Chains A and B, each alone.
Chain A
Amino acid sequence: MTHSLHRCGDTAAEKDFVWLMYQSKGINDEEIAEKAREFIEVVEEVGSVNWGDVKSGPIVALSKEEVLDRIGDKSRLRGVFTSKEQVTDFLTRISEKDIGLSVVIAGRLDLILAACQKADVPPHTINFSLGVFGNTDRLPEYTVLEITTMCGHHMVPDGIVENLLSDVRRGRISARDAAEELAAFCPCGIFNQVRAEEVLRAASRTG
C-alpha cells in the first residue's frame, strides 16, 4: 500500500516525514508486540507527534499504552516526524537497536537521503512518487487535498475538512483544535496535525 507516499502540498517539504515499522508475512512476523515496544521507545525518544496502529487507532485518540497493549502480529505501527533532524536521529538510534523489522521513511527524497548519509544507513529500495494521473478535474480543491492526503487511506473525508476550515475561518474553533480533530480520523497515526494546523491557519487567512 502506498498511503504514505503521495502527500500533497508545499508545506509537506520540511515538516512531514512518515515512518513505518513493517514485518513481513511468513519471514519475521512473530512476537511483534515486544519488538513494537522497543521500536516505540526509540520513536518516543526522538519525538513523533503522532503514531498508531491501524488495528486500534492513533495516539491522538487513544492513550499510548492502549495502542501498545492491543498490538498483535497483524499490527502495523506508523507515525510521523516533523523535522529532518528527527529522521537522522531516528535512523541512527533504530539501526543501533537492530530490531530486525523493516523500516521505511516517506517524504521529500533529498532530505531523507541526506539523513541516511548522516546516520550512515544506506537506502535499500525506493518507491518513487510520480504524481496523480487520469481525470484530475475530479480532485477536490488543493487545500482540502493537502490535508486529506495526510491519511493516504482517505479516512479523513473532504466534507469534514471543508466544515472545519469554515469553522476556523469564522473563529468557531482554533486551527490547532481542528487539526487534532482531523488527526483522529486517521487510524494509522500518520496524519501530521502540526502541519495540518499550519495549512488550516494559512487557508483561513486567504479564504
Chain B
Amino acid sequence: MRINEEKCIGCLVCTAYCNVDAILPTGDGKAKIDPDICVECWVCYRNDACPHEAIERTPLESFGDTFKHVISDPSETTAETGVPGRGTEESKTNDVTGRFQEHEVGIAIDMGRPGVGCYLYDVEKVAMAVAAAGVRFAGADSTPLAKLMIDPDTGKLQDDLLDLHVLSVIIEGKVEIDGLPPVLAAIREVEGQIDTVFSLGLVAQVDEAGNTPVLDMIEECGLDTPQRGKVNMGLGRPLYDG
C-alpha cells in the first residue's frame, strides 16, 4: 500500500485503520506507509480509510510481498493449499482428512496473534525450537509456512525472507502424544526470546466426553487446563477410516 502525496491532506484519519502502525506522519503535513512494516492486509484500503482516496494499492511484485498479502488478508486463497483465510484446514476437517490421528497431538502456534504481527525471524526461532523438540511440520500442500522452509527437519526458513512482516502465520505440526512434554517445554523457553506474541492450540481426537490424555499432560507441564476449544463434530463425509 502507499499514500498518494498529492491527495493526502495530512488529517491522519487513516492511522486508526492500520493493524500494525505502518502509517506514519511525514513531518511535512502528510502521511506515509512504511513498506517494511505494512503487512498488505488491505484493511485500510478495503474500508475506505482515506476520505480523499489517497490510499492506493501497490503492485505485489516480489514473492515476499505476495506472501505477506495472501497470509494477512483472509479473503485470499493460498494457491498451494487451496484454502482461504490463512491457508490451512488444520483440525477443522480432521473428521474427513485424518490429519491428526488418535496417537498424535497437533501443534498450532499462531505467531503474531492476537493483533501484534510478527517478523519471520521470530517465526523461525519458534519453529526451530519446536522442531528440535520433535515436532514434524505439515507439508506445503496443507500449510502456507512450509513453502518458506528450506529444511523441514529443522524449521529453518529462507534467509532472504526473515525480515518479512506479516499479520500472523501458523506454525503447524504434530508429535506422538508421548512426545508432547518436551515440545511444551521448548515453547516455554523460546517465548522469552521473541519480540512478539503467539496463541497456542493443541489438537487431539477425543472420546465422547471430550477427554484425551493430552489434557493431563498439559496440567503436568504446569499449564492451565484449557477452557476454550474448537470442536470438530465428526459430521463430515466420508468419515476418515484410515
In the complex, chain B residues whose CB is within 8 Å of the CB of A29: 82
- A-contact 0/1 string along B181-217, CB 8 Å cutoff: 0000001100100111111111111101110101100
- B-contact 0/1 string along A1-36, CB 8 Å cutoff: 111111110001000001010111111110000000
Q: Are B90's CB and A102's CB within 8 A?
A: no
In the complex, chain B residues whose CB is within 8 Å of the CB of A128: 201-204, 214-215, 218, 226, 228-229
Q: Are B18's CB and A159's CB within 8 A?
A: yes
B18 nearest in chain A by CB position: A157
Q: Which of B26-34, B51-59, B107-115, B130-138 contacts A (4 or more CB under 8 A)?
A: B107-115
Q: Are A129's CB and B228's CB within 8 A?
A: yes
**What distance in Å separates the Cβ of B145 from its nearest Cβ neighbour in chain A?**
12
Q: Are A25's CB and B228's CB within 8 A?
A: no
State whether the Cβ of B86 lies closer than 8 Å to any Cβ in chain A.
yes
In the complex, chain B residues whose CB is within 8 Å of the CB of A125: 91, 94-95, 100, 203-206, 231-232, 234
Q: Are A108's CB and B85's CB within 8 A?
A: no
Q: Which of B2-10, B73-81, B151-159 contacts A (4 or more CB under 8 A)?
A: B73-81
Cross-interface CB contact of B233 among A23, A104, A148, cutoff 8 Å = A104
Q: Which of A124-140 contact B (CB under 8 A)?
A: 124-136, 138-140
Q: Which of A93-101, A168-176, A195-203 contacts B (4 or more CB under 8 A)?
A: A93-101
State whether the Cβ of B120 lies closer than 8 Å to any Cβ in chain A.
no
**What distance in Å separates the Cβ of A38 from its nearest Cβ neighbour in chain B?**
13
Q: Are A133's CB and B187's CB within 8 A?
A: yes
In the complex, chain B residues whose CB is within 8 Å of the CB of A23: 93
Q: Are B197's CB and A105's CB within 8 A?
A: no
Q: Which of B11-49 contact A (CB under 8 A)?
A: 15-19, 41, 43, 47
Q: A104-B232, A123-B231, A127-B201 are in contact. Are A20 and B16 (CB under 8 A)?
A: no
**What distance in Å separates the Cβ of A104 from its nearest Cβ neighbour in chain B?**
5
In the complex, chain B residues whose CB is within 8 Å of the CB of A129: 199-201, 226-230
**What distance in Å separates the Cβ of A118 from its nearest Cβ neighbour in chain B?**
13
A130 and B170 CA atoms in complex are apart in Å by 15
State whether the Cβ of A59 lies closer than 8 Å to any Cβ in chain B.
no
In the complex, chain B residues whose CB is within 8 Å of the CB of A117: 208
Q: A54-B85, A139-B114, A159-B18 are in contact. Are A187 and B74 (CB under 8 A)?
A: yes
Q: Are A5's CB and B114's CB within 8 A?
A: no
Q: Which of A102-159 contact B (CB under 8 A)?
A: 102-110, 112-113, 116-117, 121-136, 138-140, 145, 148-149, 152-155, 157-159
B141 nearest in chain A by CB position: A25
Binding site for A on B (CB under 8 A): 15-19, 41, 43, 47, 74-75, 77, 81-97, 100, 106, 108, 110, 113-116, 167-168, 170, 187-188, 191, 194-206, 208-210, 212, 214-215, 218, 223-224, 226-238
User: Which 7 A-B pairs have CB atoms at the shortest separation, nearest pair first?
Assistant: A159-B16, A124-B234, A102-B236, A100-B237, A128-B226, A24-B93, A106-B230
